[in-house]
């Protein structure tokens, strides 16, 4: 009976770690707008909002990102830790997140349920 209970507990721990992505210490450092971004130039996120967006996002492959999401010119940039890796992030006004780490790994995340964080900022 104890063996049966251990498996669900281990599964629960691993699923929580996967949902967390091991991302900590999210720190927004700058906001900005690239050329053509006048329509969203008021876009900004607090550390708490950036954390909520990143934690709610999911990793996607470049093809899905390219085919299904907009690369908007307004952004917030900052730093975070992904496990033991030190990384920088860019969150775009469309809810996309680009993460680049010091070990030259890169990730693309999207948040399909973060409109409440984005809509008031555009």
Whole-prediction pTM? 0.80
CA separation for the pair 112, 81 (Å, rounded): 23
Residue found by looking up tokens 């409440």 in the block: 116
Q: Tell me the Cα Rg of the chain.
A: 16
* Helix-strand-coil split of the chain, %, nearest 5: 40, 35, 30
| Domain residue extents for the chain | 23-121
Question: Could you read off the pLDDT of 22-54 as tens digits, one per residue?
Answer: 999 999 999 999 999 999 999 999 999 999 999
CA separation for the pair 83, 105 (Å, rounded): 13
- pLDDT for 58: 96
Band the pLDDT of 118: cuts 50, 70, 90. Answer: confident
Please, what sign has the CA dihedral across residues 116, 30, 62, 109?
Answer: negative
């Amino acid at each position: 009976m104890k063996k049966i209970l251990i498996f669900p507990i281990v599964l629960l721990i691993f699923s929580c770690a996967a949902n967390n992505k091991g991302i900590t210490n999210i720190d927004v450092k700058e906001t900005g707008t690239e050329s053509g971004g006048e329509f969203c130039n008021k876009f900004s996120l607090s550390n708490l909002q950036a954390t909520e967006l990143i934690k709610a996002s999911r990793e996607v492959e470049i093809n899905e990102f390219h085919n299904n999401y907009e690369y908007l010119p307004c952004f917030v940039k900052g730093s975070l830790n992904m496990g033991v890796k030190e990384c920088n992030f860019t969150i775009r006004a469309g809810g996309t997140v680009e993460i680049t780490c010091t070990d030259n790994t890169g990730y693309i995340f999207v948040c399909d349920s973060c409109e409440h964080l984005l809509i008031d900022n555009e």
